[in-house]
Structure 1
Amino acid sequence: MELKFRVAARIARPVAEVFDAVVNPDTLSRYFTTGGAQGRMETGAVVQWSFHEFPGSFPVNVVEVVANERIVFDWDADEPDAPYKTRVTMEFEALEDGRTLVSIREEGWRQTPDGLKASYGNCGGWMQMLCALKAWTEHGVNLREGMFK
């Protein structure tokens, strides 16, 4: 069985605003990367994300950015004894009613107990990211503030 998942949410904001809230490190740091984000997500860039709940910063290798449509990046799998990368694909779709459908897929874990555990953890993390994105862009509320420190 291939370890992968997809989560999605509808955000009541135009696609350009939602997309910018992800690629812009200043905005991303306000609602998701609790330790901050450094670098704008652009094709070929390596940006850094930090989270209070995990020590250190995480390099995010940006593979592709298509404005207002898609972000693809690779980052380290959460398996300390067997380093490798997984691939994350974020898709942004403008809906007829002015909302944006954001879908996040992640795949590439090894089919091991640690890979399964890591995939479940990231699935929950990406769903939390979508909830935080929705709360921030629609209401200016940071759901993650104070959760992890």
Structure 2
Amino acid sequence: MILTVNVEKIISRDCDDVFEAIYNPAQMRHYFISSGSGKLEAGKEVIWRWEDVGAELAIKVLQADKERKTIEFHWDASGSETKVQIILEQAGKKTVVKIHETGWESNEEGIQRYGQQIQGWVDMVTCMKAYLEFGINLRAGKVVEE
């Protein structure tokens, strides 16, 4: 059995605004990454960086369809390569953000990685909501310096 993370959140912004906030690293740096090497264009590989924790990841973009409001990519954020699908659905003046990540075996290691990714995606969409609805960067001050 393959494990799949499913996270869903409503953001009080138009689908186009939410898509751009995910597609464009200049916006993502306000809620998720520190920087990115480019926009999420289909067929490209981009690098996302988290300077506050000294990490970077290659994102292999499979699809970024503004009309269908979907983004798909492969990455190895959890230590093994997984597929991420982000689907945006307009709901009146709000957007439903659905994130699915799949690819872990249902063994002890897979369950641990799966659980960490749930926490990560909930944090990401919560930070995106704060940024898009209120202009607040919740990433600021996340790392405690000793």
TM-score normalised per structure 2: 0.91
Structure 1 position 53, deviation (Å): 6.0
2:90 is matched with: 94
Q: Percent identity?
A: 31
Counterpart residue type for residue 81 of structure 2:
K
- Alignment match, 1:16: 16
SS at match of 2:83: strand
Give the corresponding residue for 2:4: 4
Unmatched 5+ stretches in structure 1? none
Aligned partners of 2:48, 2:5: CA distance in 1, in Å? 21
Is the counterpart of residue 44 in structure 1 residue 40 in structure 2?
no
Aligned to 2:55: 56
Aligned residues: 143
CA-CA distance at 1:45 after TM superposition? 1.1
Deviations 1:12-59, CA, capped at 9 Å, x for gaps: 0111001100000100011111x3222100101111112246533100
Q: What is the CA–CA distance in structure 2 between the aligned matches of 1:45 and 1:54, rounded to whole Å?
A: 25
Q: Are 1:148 and 2:143 an aligned pair?
A: yes
5+ residue gaps, structure 2, are none
Q: Which moved more, 1:68-77 or 1:45-54?
A: 45-54
Contact map agreement 1:77 1:118 (CA 8 A) in 2: no
| Alpha-carbon offset, residue 77 of structure 1 | 5.0
CA RMSD, 1 decimal: 1.5
